[in-house]
């Protein structure tokens, strides 16, 4: 399964790996990249956690945007 928002160029994959797996080691970053490219399928708990990460990132972006002041 593809997770399109993970392919955003400004997203730090190491940070996502740290939140998802608890480590940003090369092994976990490599595993996440393999799953992003469809080589290894995501597990259901990973998809649930990625959805939570996405919501938190969007909330963080919304809080920091200048249009939210208006």
pLDDT one-digit tens code per residue, 12-37: 999 999 999 999 999 999 999 999 99
Residue 24: inside a domain: yes
Tokens of 15: 């940070």
Residue 26: inside a domain: yes
Residue 41: inside a domain: yes
**Enclosing domain of residue 21:** 13-62
Confidence at 64, pLDDT banded by 50, 70, 90 = confident
Residue 19: inside a domain: yes
Residue 3: inside a domain: no
Mean pLDDT of 39-61: 93
Measuring CA to CA, which residue among 8, 5, 34, 31 is closest to residue 18?
31
pLDDT at residue 49, rounded to an integer: 96
pLDDT at residue 9, rounded to an integer: 83
Residue 69: inside a domain: no
Q: How many domains does the chain have?
A: 1
Residue 32: inside a domain: yes
Residue 17: inside a domain: yes
Dump strand ranges (E) for the chain.
none
């Amino acid at each position: 399964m593809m997770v399109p928002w993970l392919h955003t160029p400004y997203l730090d994959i190491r940070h996502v790996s740290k939140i998802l797996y608890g480590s940003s080691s090369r092994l976990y970053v490599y595993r996440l990249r393999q799953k992003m490219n469809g080589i290894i399928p995501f597990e259901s708990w990973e998809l649930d956690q990625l959805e939570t990460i996405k919501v938190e990132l969007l909330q963080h972006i919304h809080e920091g945007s200048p249009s939210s002041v208006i």
